[in-house]
Amino acid sequence: MINIELELLYHQNAHQIGIYFKYNDKLIDLVKSIGCKFSNTYRCWYILHSQANITEVYRVFKDVANIRSKELTTVSTQQAFKHNRKKEVLSTQLCEEANSKLMKFKYWMRSRRYAETTIETYLDALQTFLKFHDKKPLHKINNNDVIIFNNEYIIANNFSASYQSQVINSIKLFYKTQQEKQIEVDNLIRPKRYNKLPNVLSKEEVKAILVAHSNAKHKVMLSLLYSCGLRRSELLELKINDIDSKRKLVIVRNSKNRKDRIVPLSDKILWRLREYYKQFKPQTWLFEGAKKGEKYSEGSLEGVLKQALVKTGIKKPVSLHWLRHSYATHLLENGTDLRYIQELLGHSSSKTTEIYTHVSTKSIQQIKSPFDDLDI
């Protein structure tokens, strides 16, 4: 059984139950099912501390994991802010000046139309950084303090390079726009990141996944993700009028980086969409939940894919984004120009799209190994 550790935290101005475990899809589905959220600060899932939630957490996990807990029955601030470098619970409250500056920063980001998720991530990262250096006035924090934070907090707690980049991005933007500073933002360097190749399915595997369901809604959702290379959020944000059946286009609105784009719609998908519409008659969103007019949830969509994987017997840890990666790679292998693929995926930079050249097998398979020339 997987081990789960419960710990009392103070987060988002309230006592929370922190839930720590190694990455596991099943456990993630369970924490989401009871309303838990993920904290980038503590690198764990959390839910509001209450006796009812403690009981619910134990009920959900008792048969699937070994549960270990620290003090959860007492909610004293001293216990909640227990300083533990392994998980680094920062106990300090920000001073009035810092809170005021962060609020102004929040309003500034909103005025510039930053996504709410980005605003929350940046503020969370900044709060952690400023609490770490609570003994130092904002205007005296310098580049060396960033290096100390990276070593004594991020690296010491084995946090990811992507989280470190988030913190650096938030510090740079904050000190560039809001704070008279000693920090030289141009000299703040983001960490080197491990360049992972995108995960790609074969066409045979994609076909097996797309035909696994008999439910028309489930089938067409997965098919549209692959056939148009959509992100999960883009699929769920589609409205009925975003399908232009006459021009055979899908209009993707306000996607990543606040960009609209159009994607060609295949005749096969158009036919399936029409059949789906006749059966389910959505009102507002193209794909709705159990209640009419209510958008289909991300968790339910992930569940649709997991059910398909069980039916096909595919053991790979496939995610919804693999369908998008597979779409791009298969286009490239079919001879589609990389510039068009960039437009279809909505990438701002061609460098992002070029990663698919590393997983396309069209040219690689034509290379003959020198081993074949050996007479052995």
> Considering 15, 324, 325, 330, which one is annotated as catalytic?
324
256, 261, 272, 306: the catalytic one is 256
Contact of 98 with 35, CB cutoff 8 Å: no
Residue pair 38/44 in contact by the 8 Å Cβ criterion: yes
Q: Please indicate whether residue 356 is annotated as part of the active site.
A: yes
Residue of 15, 213, 218, 231 marked active site? 231
Question: Which H/E stretch holds residue 313?
Answer: none
Return d(Cα 325, Cα 347) in angstroms, integer: 13
Q: Has 213 been annotated as catalytic? A: no
324 part of the active site? yes
Q: How far is Cα 66 from Cα 71, in angstroms, rounded to an integer?
A: 17
DSSP state of 196: P
Query: Is-catalytic flag, 358?
Result: no
H-helix segments, 229-349: 232-236, 267-280, 298-312, 320-333, 338-345
Strands 65-69 and 2-11: parallel
321 catalytic residue (yes or no): yes
Annotated catalytic residue, options 10, 276, 327, 356: 356
Of 22, 21, 2, 18, nearest to 10 (Cα)? Answer: 18
Give the CA radius of gyration of the chain: 24
Nearest to 272 by CA among 262, 286, 284, 288: 286
> Any catalytic annotation for residue 231?
yes
Inter-residue contact 301 to 236 (CB < 8 Å): yes
The catalytic residues are 231, 256, 321, 324, 347, 356
